[in-house]
Amino acid sequence: MIRAQGLTKTFGDRTAVKGVDFTVEPGRVTGFLGPNGAGKSTTMRMALGLDAPTQGSVTVNGHRYAASPAPLREVGALLEAHAIHPGRSARDHLRWLAASNGIPTTRVGEVLEQVGLDSVAGQRAGRFSLGMGQRLGIASALIGNPPVVILDEPVNGLDPEGIRWVRELARDLASEGRTVFISSHLMSEMALMADHLIVIGAGAILADCSMQQFMADHAASYVRVKAPQSTEVEALLVGRGLEVLRAGDELRVQGLDAPAIGELVGTQGLLLHELTLVRSSLEDAFMALTADSVEYHAKASQKVAR
Amino acid sequence: MSALQAAAPPQQVAAAGFGRTLHSEWIKLWSVRSTWWTMIALVILGAGLTTLICWGNAEWLASAEADESPGSFITWGMMIAQVCAVIVGVMTVTSEYGTGMIRTTLAATPARGRVLAAKAVVVTGLLFVIGTLTALLGYVGGNWFLDREGIGMSLDGDVARSMYGSGLFLGGLGLFSLAVGFLVRHTAGAISIVLALVFVIGNMVLLVPGDLGIFLERVMPGNAGGALASPVPFNPHLLGAWPSFGIFVAEIAAVLGAAWFLLRRRDA
């Protein structure tokens, strides 16, 4: 379990993390979602005792990370995939990590096999592709068989097969009862991986709820209705207490599903030209939620949005 | 849950001792090729150049017109080989900052002072051993030529001291470089600073006139530390071998203290 209380970090006059409170529970995958520069990595670095909080605290398994005598057995973390000496082999990288926490060397072979790098274990990490580096980073996180796993942007640079692998790994780790905390700036990725979602923007928590709850709250859906006698149809639907919004020649109806609307209109002898369920994507919901907190807006995309 | 039960509860993990950190740093040191190459270069430069310079100067040193002592030549190669000590000391630290691996290191061992201490022990120990052996090798090679001219030196007294003195000097210089590495956190920057201090500024102070000049000659780290590594230093202004080395040790302690203080304070 990871718990942040009033966690704050300032760099000079810029506040990267603004007094956030959250709890990451075991047994599920918690997605930590936010645009670049939202404070995800800073929060994770504070959880690992690398950056000192300006105010507040963050504890792992009930105590400060640095208080652990063998932290790799408690918390495994992937921070940056390229944070590996290019001249050192994957096996040697894991060997020194294991030695530093008194982890048996047999774990080195085990995690290499687990991430699928056993055949290239003797190669220098500098020759690794981005995806292989990412796998080695994940192997480093798992070396101590820790009950808490923190992965910062683990799917960056992975091919589709690798992305699916990370997704399944995260689910497996959570199903074993571990605390799994994964950051990403991609809503689509989180939607497939996370059970719980913590959304951060400009250093503040914008949402902290289950994935289903987030979908229900933010991924608005409506039924698009087009009819030749649209005024009559509108009156009929409003009369049934449904929310109807007129947009040009189409009606956007909320409160009843498409087949039910079709039957309702049909029994009144009215014609329909279109009846479509429209679901705004989670990506849109995420963009809308974090729109005010994004550090750098691309001017072009703003134009498109208008 | 079986995988979780396999992980030992934290309280059962014996307090991770200094030995683990030391072992970890030892693996790091030898698992990159640059360490091997630098050590090989150290031996070749240190022993080879000493042998070469003794071969070239033996006849002159044995002649009446010689105004230098053979003792100044018997560890001459170590003056060049010290570059390798600087490189190893700096790289042990800055290669981790360059790749961001330092965060992995400090996450694995949150007691930062222990990381610094383990790196210090590994680097200093290695350079002491290799430095002493290289000096001995240079003595064997160089003294063979000096012996031919009848000015060979026996391996005792100041000559013997200059052998392990070379080891101590290189170990100290590696430690000094390591500390600068932690302060600067950048390979090129740290190597430049140490080499400038030892080679450039250390020799430029010879141009400073008067007592100030002599004072500076005595205290510049390369000069103060190097006094122990030669039976008869070229520079007659230096204090005795051990008092000089005491100055060097104090300088190392100061830089190391600053490195320790900042390493604990800074965000990684």
Return the HEC string of B75-115. CCCHHHHHHHHHHHHHHHHHHHHHHCHHHHHHHHCCCHHHH
pLDDT < 50 positions in chain B = 1-15
**Which of B3, B16, B24 is nearest residue A96 as measured by Cβ atoms?**
B24
Residue A209, Cβ density class (10 Å: 0-12 exposed, 13-18 middle, ≥19 buried): middle
Indicate where chain A has its CATH 3.40.50.300 domain(s). Answer: 2-217
Residues 6+ apart with CB under 8 A from A267: none
**Chain A residues close to B20, C-beta within 8 Å:** 99-102
CATH topology for the A221-279 domain: Alpha-Beta Plaits (3.30.70)
Which of these, B16, B12, B7, lies nearest to A146 by C-alpha position? Answer: B7
Which of these, B195, B35, B33, lies nearest to B127 by C-alpha position? Answer: B35
Query: Taking the CA of residue B22 as centre, how many other CA atoms within 13 Å lie in the half-sphere pointing to its CB?
Result: 10
Which of these, A191, A216, A203, A201, lies nearest to A31 by C-alpha position? Answer: A191
Whether B226 is in a domain gets the answer yes
Query: Taking the CA of residue A243 as centre, how many other CA atoms within 13 Å lie in the half-sphere pointing to its CB?
Result: 6
Which of these, B238, B50, B16, lies nearest to B134 by C-alpha position? Answer: B50
Q: What is the pLDDT of residues B196-254, one digit of tens each?
A: 999 999 989 999 999 999 999 999 999 999 999 999 988 888 999 999 999 999 999 99
What is the rounded average pLDDT of the residues A209-229?
85
Whether B152 is in a domain gets the answer yes
Whether B101 is in a domain gets the answer yes
Distance from CA of B108 to the nearest CA of A (A): 6
What is the rounded average pLDDT of the residues A135-163?
93
Q: Determine the pLDDT at residue A280.
A: 72
| Domain count for chain B | 1
Distance from CA of B261 to the nearest CA of A (A): 15
Confidence of residue A303 (pLDDT cuts 50, 70, 90): very low
Helices then strands, counting H and E runs in chain B, come out as 13, 0
Per-residue pLDDT at A305 exceeds 60: no
Whether B12 is in a domain gets the answer no
Distance of CA A122 to the CA centre of its chain: 33
C-alpha to C-alpha distance for B120 and B128, rounded to whole angstroms = 12
Q: What residues of chain A, 25 to 54, have a C-beta less than 8 Å from chain B? A: 45, 48-52
| Residue A116 identity (one-letter amino acid) | G
Whether B5 is in a domain gets the answer no
Place of tokens 């007691």: B111
Across chain A, mean pLDDT equals 90
Q: What is the pTM of this model?
A: 0.86
Distance from CA of A73 to the nearest CA of B (A): 7
Q: Determine the pLDDT at residue A294.
A: 67
Phi first, then psi: what are they for A176, rounded to 5°? -80, 0
Q: Determine the pLDDT at residue A297.
A: 58
Q: What is the CATH number of domain A2-217?
A: 3.40.50.300
Among A100, A123, A124, A128, most B C-beta atoms within 10 A, so best to mutate, is A100
Domain residues for the domain of B145 are 19-59+69-265
Whether B14 is in a domain gets the answer no
What is the rounded average pLDDT of the residues A69-85?
90
Q: Determine the pLDDT at residue B1.
A: 41
Predicted complex ipTM exceeds 0.90: no
Whether B2 is in a domain gets the answer no
Listed ranges A3-17, A153-167, A213-227; the one with the highest mean pLDDT? A3-17
Per-residue pLDDT at A300 exceeds 50: no
Indicate where chain A has its CATH 3.30.70.980 domain(s). Answer: 221-279
Q: What residues of chain A, 121 to 150, have a C-beta less than 8 Å from chain B? A: 140, 144-147
